[in-house]
Structure 1
């Protein structure tokens, strides 16, 4: 080293070479691990995912030295939609690609394929050769629990189904129709949706299956079939290609109008940007759910880089937006690269089987030595990815939040969120909310199909169907409960009254439509055709499907029909006249004391004055004078002492004793009179003429009841004489009969049910009163054949 300058320069260059060497993007000493990728490059998801996966590899190995490095081998499944039932798995392009990757490349893991039908074949192959199959796409029909080498790096459909059920419950819909495409992918979500609907007590009356190869006419035929049904809430699970044609036909069938509710699953919601503008226009008012991607600076930076790279790789394609499937593909590659570096390499990578004469290509592949360790590492991995918290547990990506969106204008608008912890909410992390919510008010305003803000009821009158024949009683009076009229112009029966109002409110509250018609139980001339027992018996004869009205639930009627729960107060009581109110009598001040007592008081009045005069007039000058003055003194002295205003002095002790006795009597009489008069003027004086119903039997009084009622049987059971019964049909007849009385062609009492008694007393509260006891009766109920209408109706 003669020149130290050259020596120093050599050392510096040597050091720099070690520092710069790793920056070329590949560690020469890293062990390569082959990984297969199967994508459908004829779809936008496949093209987007390819770019995201390549960027993930670049980003993962850009700034770090790892002992391993995955090398990807891409295969195109070319929109292969072959189903095992139709062509067999050996004709599936994805299966052929997987055989090639395993046999000729000996990959240690396979990412993909996208479709459930494709993944089903490849998963079986992965189990056989012990190679992890990792799918970043939603595969609802496949479960990691059934395959130890299958990993789903997308959210499970069960959580999506709960989100959809939360929306259904929030709006109170009780019936939902599923519409899905006819393959494993479409039907895979159905069990999850069914279970979710059962949890919220929603009924699924029909499931519509649409083939991906269905023509537009076949789609329209199915839509018209749905239109004839009363359910108006539909959950659609289709890929964008079929969904686009479906919603265009739905608009053509006028099913994207007011009264309809459409909910789309996440696969379509997440890819709305890929559908044509005409389809978006047809989907106005649709609600959708999709996985929530939290915003971050890393995501914004990656999106800008992705757009540039995607345009460079696909200069002839229209602009596409990055979606959740691309982000999941990116995070999946990151997870796999992390797991591979953690596991390291195993040499040899494949264990070759013993060759046999009849061995197949599958047998010749052998099994992966690295696979069992690698799959365990991937199945339990967690990190912060671009798609959010990327946490795989037991081969399944753990659920995060779902966004609820509304298709409006040229795209979608977020109206809320759904999480497994909080349910529906307006924000992703609601403050102070500790309970699960399914309140529609936790969503922002929604524009429904038909550009309306009116929430769909969920059902509508179908174009056809049998009407329930509802029998109703016909009566002259008691119109407050049932009143039957006929519209001569429309020839329609108009039924009003309390019972009819209750029935109509119940019908309107039902989650489905019930078509019915009222049929009066009447003769040709419009009069009642019989008693209530005969009316109820018509159901047993199958002339009516149900009876609605003021029908009392009675045991003997229950032998033939069923009753709903009662909707009125129960009990039977008695109406009797009451005595007149004497407070209006001008001579009421004479009432506190009886006539005999008034005479006794007057006698004592004169007697006291006479005794005092006899004793005092001999010794007291004030009791002397002309006879007229002495007579006046007798009356005046008693009166003056009555009010304690006498001025005459008594001098005899005997007179004083008489006065003391008289004053004591006056005090007693005054106090008693005041108390009695006060009671008469303040306490209700309306007293019934009869206080016990059995007095009617003893006195042989006539008793009234309502025509057609069950009351006669009740009274006969109480030992009443049937010849003493008189029936009436109106409240006016009640009033007239009670006013006339039992001896004048009327009745002494009316026995009826409490629901009828209260309106009558409200009109005649000063003339009649209800007396006990109250006898048991179940109240009014609607009538149906056995087990046709539930008791909660």
Structure 2
């Protein structure tokens, strides 16, 4: 009789202990951040992301006994490095990836994120061809270029400008952005007269050569859709070629305001070069949270933690971390813990990487 009672008792204890372990809430959740660190946006994003993680971990109203662990990697604005670094953070079992900045890199990492079922939140990839229809695990926490190109086309239409020349970087971001502008101009019975595609790594001589060729068209309206890190070079060359006069109209997408907003001090020479240039800026609604973060940013600058001014993409990066944290909180409240499983991924060894079992459910949060 004794052996008959002891065996069921052991089974009951094992079931209770196993159930307790299974329901225990995960103590640490890893999130990745993959982007170009040494860039106009990246320098701001790094501080914003790290601050957001610290704020989440210090807030008792969210994630309870769970801490976020940040794993950051630098892709150096390179598609190949983007893929390599994405695999590196996925190997560390992250539940979400924040970034990248580049639309070209975002295309690559989105395909990887889809395969591993890990949400990818980009706070700076504005290429409108990046959609959740093609990449279900891609989430955008910024505006697409569709908005600013519609505004740009409306501005051109309002003033009745003709001879539109588009200057853009020859990558996904540049080509697709100008394609949207072309569509928006077409809706208003206008068109782009000439396109000037700049190499991704352009220099002064290549810009000068292309601008000189565009001068043959005559007086024009130039729309510049470039990167924050190198776009100012275009205007420097244009001034040298005497193209910053009243015979020309210069318009710039939000890369210019992003560059200028990031500078703590704008020198007189730069202001002189940009005199007369009209640029667009993303709108962020005023709020007490935004003003409080701006005040904190000023303190960061005083303490030497950051040199750049706070820009819109920095706010987006900060909010992206909080979006992940709230989603993870809801996920853990419902499912209790985070698990990963080995699955066959194309030609990759099955034991090499794990997919996030709850990726689809976290995405829905």
Same fold (TM over 0.5): yes
Q: CA deviation at 1:300?
A: 2.4
Partner in structure 1 of residue 70 of structure 2: 72
Q: What is the CA–CA distance in structure 1 between the aligned matches of 2:119 and 2:349, rounded to whole Å?
A: 19
Relative to 1, partners in 2 of residues 1:192 and 1:320: Cα closer, same or farther, differing over 3 Å?
same
Partner in structure 1 of residue 341 of structure 2: 351
Structure 1 unaligned spans of 5+: 1-27, 83-91, 378-793
Match 1:41 to one of 37, 41, 53 = 37
Relative to 1, partners in 2 of residues 1:362 and 1:81: Cα closer, same or farther, differing over 3 Å?
farther
Matched, 1:305 2:300: no
Equivalent residues of 2:166, 2:194 under 8 A apart: yes
Match 2:257 to one of 269, 272, 284 = 269
Relative to 1, partners in 2 of residues 1:229 and 1:363: Cα closer, same or farther, differing over 3 Å?
farther
Tell me: higher relative CO, structure 1 or 2? Use CA pairs within 8 A at least 6 residues apart.
Answer: 2
Matched, 1:54 2:50: yes
Q: Deviations over 1:332-351 (max 9, x none)?
A: 11111111111225656212
Q: CA deviation at 1:297?
A: 3.4
Q: How does 1:427-442 map to 2 (within 5 A)?
A: none
Q: How does 1:447-596 map to 2 (within 5 A)?
A: none
Partner in structure 2 of residue 138 of structure 1: 125
Q: What is the CA–CA distance in structure 1 between the aligned matches of 2:248 and 2:285, rounded to whole Å?
A: 32
Q: Deviations over 1:601-621 (max 9, x none)?
A: xxxxxxxxxxxxxxxxxxxxx
Q: CA deviation at 1:51?
A: 1.3
Q: CA deviation at 1:69?
A: 3.6
Partner in structure 2 of residue 168 of structure 1: 156
Structure 2 unaligned spans of 5+: 1-23
Q: What is the CA–CA distance in structure 2 between the aligned matches of 1:206 and 1:361, rounded to whole Å?
A: 49
Q: Deviations over 1:650-685 (max 9, x none)?
A: xxxxxxxxxxxxxxxxxxxxxxxxxxxxxxxxxxxx
Q: CA deviation at 1:64?
A: 1.5
Equivalent residues of 1:51, 1:309 under 8 A apart: no
Q: What is the CA–CA distance in structure 2 between the aligned matches of 1:128 and 1:177, rounded to whole Å?
A: 40
Matched, 1:218 2:206: yes
Match 1:234 to one of 222, 228, 236 = 222
Q: CA deviation at 1:57?
A: 2.5
Determine helix, strand or coil for the equivalent of 1:241: coil
Relative to 1, partners in 2 of residues 1:366 and 1:57: Cα closer, same or farther, differing over 3 Å?
closer
Q: CA deviation at 1:211?
A: 1.2
Q: CA deviation at 1:289?
A: 0.9
Partner in structure 1 of residue 285 of structure 2: 294
Q: What is the CA–CA distance in structure 2 between the aligned matches of 1:76 and 1:374, rounded to whole Å?
A: 25
Match 2:330 to one of 338, 342, 349 = 342
Q: Deviations over 1:158-194 (max 9, x none)?
A: 1111110111111111331111012222112022111
Q: CA deviation at 1:247?
A: 0.5
Q: What is the CA–CA distance in structure 1 between the aligned matches of 2:233 and 2:350, rounded to whole Å?
A: 40
Q: What is the CA–CA distance in structure 1 between the aligned matches of 2:160 and 2:245, rounded to whole Å?
A: 20
Matched, 1:187 2:175: yes
Q: CA deviation at 1:359?
A: 4.7
Q: CA deviation at 1:249?
A: 0.4
Equivalent residues of 1:177, 1:207 under 8 A apart: yes
Q: CA deviation at 1:80?
A: 3.3
Q: What is the CA–CA distance in structure 1 between the aligned matches of 2:36 and 2:351, rounded to whole Å?
A: 27
Partner in structure 2 of residue 329 of structure 1: 317
Equivalent residues of 1:99, 1:362 under 8 A apart: no
Q: CA deviation at 1:58?
A: 3.0
Q: What is the CA–CA distance in structure 2 between the aligned matches of 1:65 and 1:199, rounded to whole Å?
A: 47
Q: TM-score, normalised by structure 2?
A: 0.84
Partner in structure 2 of residue 282 of structure 1: 273
More helix by share: 2
Relative to 1, partners in 2 of residues 1:349 and 1:280: Cα closer, same or farther, differing over 3 Å?
farther
Relative to 1, partners in 2 of residues 1:282 and 1:172: Cα closer, same or farther, differing over 3 Å?
same
Q: What is the CA–CA distance in structure 1 between the aligned matches of 2:304 and 2:93, rounded to whole Å?
A: 28
Equivalent residues of 1:69, 1:341 under 8 A apart: no
Q: Deviations over 1:356-411 (max 9, x none)?
A: xx95257731321111011122xxxxxxxxxxxxxxxxxxxxxxxxxxxxxxxxxx
Q: CA deviation at 1:235?
A: 0.8
Equivalent residues of 1:162, 1:196 under 8 A apart: yes
Q: CA deviation at 1:207?
A: 0.7
Q: TM-score, normalised by structure 1?
A: 0.40
Partner in structure 2 of residue 81 of structure 1: 78
Q: What is the CA–CA distance in structure 2 between the aligned matches of 1:57 and 1:328, rounded to whole Å?
A: 14
Partner in structure 2 of residue 260 of structure 1: 248
Partner in structure 2 of residue 518 of structure 1: none
